[in-house]
A and B are shown apart, each in its own frame.
Chain A
Amino acid sequence: MTTIAPEETAYEAVFDATVAADERIEPRDWMPDAYRSTLVRQIAQHAHSEIIGMQPEANWITRAPSLRRKAILMAKVQDEAGHGLYLYSAAETLGTGRDELLDRLHSGRQKYSSIFNYPTLTWADVGAIGWLVDGAAITNQVPLCRCSYGPYARAMVRICKEESFHQRQGYELLLTLSRGTEAQHAMAQDAVNRWWWPSLMMFGPPDDESAHSAQSMAWKIKRHSNDDLRQRFVDICVPQAEALGLTLPDPDLTWNDERGHWDFGPIDWTEFREVLKGNGPCNEERIGRRRQAHEEGAWVREAAAAHAAKHGKATR
C-alpha cells in the first residue's frame, strides 16, 4: 500500500465533497492528477474539434449560393474559431498552454471529433452538418454546462447558445432545399444519408466499450452515458426528419412503445474505429491543412513576438 500524505487525504476529501455537493471545482482548488489530465485531454480535444471543424464548412464559403447564406456560413465558421479560443483558455486554467496543445494536435498525439474526417461534397452538407452534427454536439454538450469543472462548464454555457443557433440555421437550410426544386430536394436527402450514421458515432463507443466513461461520470465531468445521449438524439431527430420531408437512412428505425423510444439499426463500429485510427476519408487532408496553416503562419507569429519584444507589448 502506498503512503498518502495526511494533507493530501484531507484535500481529496474536500474535492470529493465538492463534487458530491454538485459544486464547482475551480483552477486553484486541489484536484486529483487523473482528474486534471482527463479534463486537459477532453477540453483540448473539444477545442481541436472546433478548429478542425472549421474546414469542412469553410470548404463552401466561396461557393455559397446566396449572399445571405454566405454571411450565415462565414459567421458560423468565425464562431467556431471563437469556441476554440474559449476552450483553449479553459484548458490553460489546468496548467497547460495553447501552443503545447496545438503541438499535440499537429503531431497526432491528441485527437479531434471523428465527424470532421468526412467530406462536404455538396451545399446541402452544410445544412446536414448544422442540423445533425451540431445537433449531436448540443445533445452532448448541454449536460457539460453542469460539468464539475467550473471553467469548462462556463465555456459550455456560452458555446451551447451559439451552437443552438447554428443548428436551427442548418435545419432551416435543409428545409429550404427540401421544399425547393427536385434537384435541391435530392441534394438534401443525399446529404442526410451520408451524415446520419457518422453523427450517431459522435456519441462515442457503446457504453460497454467506453474506456473513460465510468470515471468521468463519478467525477461529474460526464452526466449521461454515450448510449443514453445517442438514444436521446435519435428520439429528437426522427420527428424533425419527418417535418423536413426527408428520410433517415435506417430501415430498422421503429417506434418501440414499450421502451418509449425509437429503436435503430446497428452502427458500423469498424468504420468508426478506422476513422479514429486515421483512415477516414479526410483525416490526412484535415490535419495536413491545419499543419500547413500553422507552418506557413510561423513567420507572422515570429514577427508579432519580435515586434512586441521591441515595443514592450504582449503578443496576444
Chain B
Amino acid sequence: MNVTATPALPLGDDALILSHRLGEWAGRAPVLEEEVALANIALDLLGQARVLLSLAGDEDELAFLREERQFRNLQLVEQPNGDFAHTIARQLYFSTYQELLFEHLAAGESELAPLAAKAVKEVAYHRDHAHQWTLRLGDGTDESHARMQHALDALWRFTGELFEPVEGLEAAPWPTLHDTWTTRITSTLEQATLTVPEGPQRGGWAAGAGRQGLHTEPFGRLLAEMQHLHRSHPGATW
C-alpha cells in the first residue's frame, strides 16, 4: 500500500473513525430529529475523511486494509458511543478541537487549506449541535445533569492527546490551540451548570497514543466490523 507521509492521514483517520461511531446510532437515536442530525454529522465527517485519505493514498485501501497499529486517529474518536451524553461529550471535545485546527489550517497555504476552509463550516455546525445539547443535558433534569457530568469526566483523559503536535503540522500553535479550546469548553460547561473535569488529560502510559498507532481495546472490534466484508473479497470492486 502506498501511503504518503502527510498530516492528512491522522486527520482523515479522526474523521473516518468518528463518522463510523456516529453511524452506529442510526435507528437508535432518542428522537427522530437526532437521527437526522447525527447522520448528517457522520456524513460530513465521512466526506472529510474521503478527501483527506485520498491525499495520503487510496481511500478504501487506507480504510479497509490497514491494521489497528497503522491507524493514526485520536483515542477520543474511537471511544464507544455509550449513552447520548457520552456521544455529546465526545462530540463537544472533538468538534471544538477540529474547528480550531481547521480555522488555523484554512488560513495557511498547505495542501490541507482548501479542505479545511470547506470543512470548517460543517464543523461549526457540529460544534454548535454539541454545545446546544450540552446546555440541554447539563441544565435539564437532575438525571441528565448527572449523566452529562459523568460523560465529560469519563472522556476527559483522552483530551490531552488532541494537542500533541501532529506529524507534518509541528509548526501549528498547539499550546495556543489548547488554551483557546480550554476557554471555549469552560464557557460551554459553565453555561450548562457543569464543572470542568479536574483529572489528568491523558492516560498514564502513552502520551499521544492514538497518533502513534496505540489504541484502546474497543478499536480492534470496530475495525473487525468495518473491514470484514471488504477483506473477505480481496480485489473486488464495490
Contact = CB atoms under 8 A, between A and B. Distances in A.
B147 A67 contact: no
B92 to A, nearest CB: 15
Interface in B61-90: 63-64, 83-84
B131 interface: no
Given A66-B60, A181-B233, A306 B140 contact: yes
Contacts of A77: 26-27, 35, 39
B186 interface: no
B141 A303 contact: yes
Given A297-B84, A299-B144, A307-B136, A81 B35 contact: yes
A74 B26 contact: yes
B143 interface: yes
A177 B233 CA distance: 12
Interface in A260-316: 289-290, 292-294, 296-304, 306-308, 310-311, 316
Interface in B206-233: 225-226, 228-230, 233
A184 B236 contact: yes
B1 interface: no
Interface stretch (A16-24, A54-62, A129-137, A207-215): A54-62
Given A74-B46, A78-B40, A65 B30 contact: no
30 contacts: A58-B27, A61-B26, A62-B23, A63-B228, A65-B230, A66-B60, A67-B59, A67-B60, A74-B42, A75-B39, A77-B26, A77-B39, A82-B36, A88-B32, A180-B238, A181-B236, A183-B233, A184-B233, A290-B27, A293-B29, A296-B30, A299-B141, A300-B34, A300-B137, A300-B144, A302-B140, A302-B141, A302-B144, A304-B140, A307-B137
Interface of A: 51, 54-55, 58, 61-71, 74-75, 77-78, 81-82, 84-85, 88, 123, 176-177, 180-181, 183-184, 289-290, 292-294, 296-304, 306-308, 310-311, 316
